Amino acid sequence: MRFLPEGEQQRLLTACFARSGLTLEQLWMRYFALGGSQSLLELDAYLNALTTLPRVDRDMLAHAVNERLDELAGPPRAPYSHSVRDGKPLHGPLKALVDLLEGAHRAPPERLPSVVAAAGRALDLRIGVYLADYDQRTLVRADSAAELDIDTTVAGAVFRHAGTAVTRDAPGPTLWTVLLDGVERLGVLEIVPTDGADPDDPVLREQCRWLSTLLGHLVTVTTQYGDGLDVRRRRRHRGSPAELLWQSLPPLTGATESVVVGASVQPAYDLCGVVFDYALSERRARLAMFDAGSRTGDASYAVVNALAAYRAARRDGASLEEQYEAVAGSAAAVTGVLAELDLVTGDVRWLGAGHPAPLIVRGGAVLPETGSAAVGFERPPRVTDARLRPGDVLALYSPGLAGATDRLGTPFGRERVARCLAGGTLPPETARLLTQEVVAHAGGELRSDAGVLVARWVPR
């Protein structure tokens, strides 16, 4: 295979970019959408011949420019680093990418682990996929009965901290990296180099990072049309009320450049009457939690109805007060709290109906409780205002969280909730740890569902 000299490719690419009519920011967005990982500054330096880029990034840039030139229908195309006559790549990262995409096309979910293994061979890697169970206590291997505890193993630590780690036990060095769909933690990848490569090699880690990101999307997509991976994540039977509620919930983690949201609900397999929701945009974060109070089959229908009324009003552009009225008119037996955070100013407003007031954590300490919740969805609603500082955490939680009792009847209490929220971990891990402490306090038997929704404001 003949490669075009890098300097010549850079010169021709820069000339084609100038004819494309794209701004540097628009080019970077197209390049990023193709899987590129270089920053805007690095692209600017490359186009001005001040630095070099790896071949795969140069080719993604060329492809981004060519897509634009195809839209304009006429100007000469930017060259790739090798002749287009070479067709499908025969080795390396691009081959792994092609193998993964082609293998996953129309593949049933249970075939995904073998597709990943084939893509890994193009990178001289042996890859194992572990998925977190719905209780977020165990990592289960997608293609075998192997299990790893989230709280006590290296793989579990990688999941908890959404990071990477290297183990050097027999039979050889292993790289563990978190499996993400966007920002939601799905599990971890076990990656063993088969060519003697060092797992600490930054190039290898970068290749594994994009492989993990793409695989996370594929896991989520394939789960929507098949049960092969979903059944691996279940450690026991999930009743019909819990099945209904889980299908209604958004991902347990969401994020933009200005806010990170994490949530958790328990008991995961017997959930009956608690749901949460959020909607993130450039300007606002809208948060909500609803509780039917009881653990009956009818409770699930009541909270799903409240959730649907809330989403319908929110998506119609209704104000916070109008959202409150919509829920009050559709689910009178449900309690709840609705909040809206301005991601530019930090101003937050909330309306409570039978729920504890949200808590604000600042600098590791919980601020004094502001406002009080109404007995139910009263009219007119009581609006509470506050202002967050950068890094503050806002937490909505269900009555069953602080109200969970041990065998002696001692409730978990607001003070323990506050201590858990002040732990300083990322919002999804804060939520996971808090609900698991509540379950442990109750001896594994919750009389009421427990839910928490944690948002950290991190303005640009």
Rounded to 5°, angle at Cα 53 from 49 and 59 = 105
pLDDT band of residue 78 (cuts 50, 70, 90) is confident
Q: What is the DSSP string of 329-382?
A: HH-TT-EEEEEEEETTT-EEEEEEEBSPPPEEEETTEEPPP-S--BSSS-SSPP
Give residue for tokens 């394939």: 222
pLDDT tens, position by position, 245-256: 999 999 999 999
Is residue 1 predicted with pLDDT exceeding 50? no
Q: At what angle do helices 6-20 and 40-47 cross, to 10 degrees?
A: 110
Q: Are 6 and 61 in contact (CB under 8 A)?
A: no
Closest C-alpha among 360, 384, 450 to residue 413: 450
What domains does the chain contain, in order, with CATH numbers? Answer: 6-86 (no CATH), 92-232 (3.30.450.40), 237-457 (3.60.40.10)
**333-353 mean pLDDT:** 94
**119-126 mean pLDDT:** 83
Rounded to 5°, angle at Cα 78 from 72 and 80 = 140
Is residue 373 predicted with pLDDT exceeding 60? no
Copy the structure tokens of residue 310: 């809330």
Is residue 371 predicted with pLDDT exceeding 70? no
Is residue 84 predicted with pLDDT exceeding 70? no
116: number of Cβ within 10 Å:
27
- Residue 58's contacts (CB-CB under 8 Å, 6 or more residues apart) are 6, 9, 10, 13, 46, 81
Q: Which pLDDT belongs to residue 358? A: 94
Q: Which pLDDT belongs to residue 140? A: 96
pLDDT band of residue 354 (cuts 50, 70, 90) is confident
pLDDT tens, position by position, 168-218: 886 789 999 999 998 899 999 999 998 888 888 888 888 888 888 888 888
Q: Are 110 and 228 in contact (CB under 8 A)?
A: yes
CA atoms within 13 A on the CB side of 290: 32
pLDDT band of residue 116 (cuts 50, 70, 90) is confident
Q: Are 340 and 284 in contact (CB under 8 A)?
A: yes
pLDDT tens, position by position, 145-171: 899 999 999 999 999 998 899 998 867
Copy the structure tokens of residue 292: 């039917």
Is residue 404 predicted with pLDDT exceeding 70? yes
Q: Map residue 256 onto helix, strand or coil.
A: coil
Q: What is the DSSP string of 90-129?
A: -SHHHHHHHHHHHHHTT--GGGHHHHHHHHHHTTTEEEEE
**312-326 mean pLDDT:** 95
Is residue 374 predicted with pLDDT exceeding 60? no
Q: Are 46 and 53 in contact (CB under 8 A)?
A: yes
Is residue 310 predicted with pLDDT exceeding 70? yes
Is residue 85 predicted with pLDDT exceeding 60? no
**415-425 mean pLDDT:** 89
Kindly list the strands in the beta sheet with 164-167, ordered across the sheet, starting from the edge strand earlier in the chain. 147-149, 138-141, 125-132, 184-193, 174-181, 164-167
Contacts 24+ apart (CB under 8 A), 136-143: 136/264, 136/268, 136/432, 136/436, 137/436, 138/235, 139/187, 139/188, 140/232, 140/233, 140/235, 142/112, 142/113, 142/229, 142/232, 143/113, 143/114
Lowest mean pLDDT among 56-70, 360-374, 400-414: 360-374
Q: Map residue 454 onto helix, strand or coil.
A: strand
Copy the structure tokens of residue 218: 């594929």
- Residue 333's contacts (CB-CB under 8 Å, 6 or more residues apart) are 292, 293, 302
**b/e burial code for range 157-187 (CB count within 10 A of at least 16 → b):** ebbbebebbeeeeeeebbbbbbbbbebbbbb
Share of the chain above pLDDT 70, in %: 90
Is residue 86 predicted with pLDDT exceeding 60? no
Is residue 332 predicted with pLDDT exceeding 70? no
pLDDT tens, position by position, 88-115: 555 566 677 766 777 776 778 888 888 8
Distance separating alpha carbons of residues 1 and 59, to the nearest angstrom = 15
Is residue 134 predicted with pLDDT exceeding 80? yes
Q: Which pLDDT belongs to residue 377? A: 67
Q: What is the DSSP string of 180-204?
A: EETTEEEEEEEEEESS---TT-HHH
Alpha-carbon dihedral 182, 185, 187, 189, rounded to 10 degrees: 50
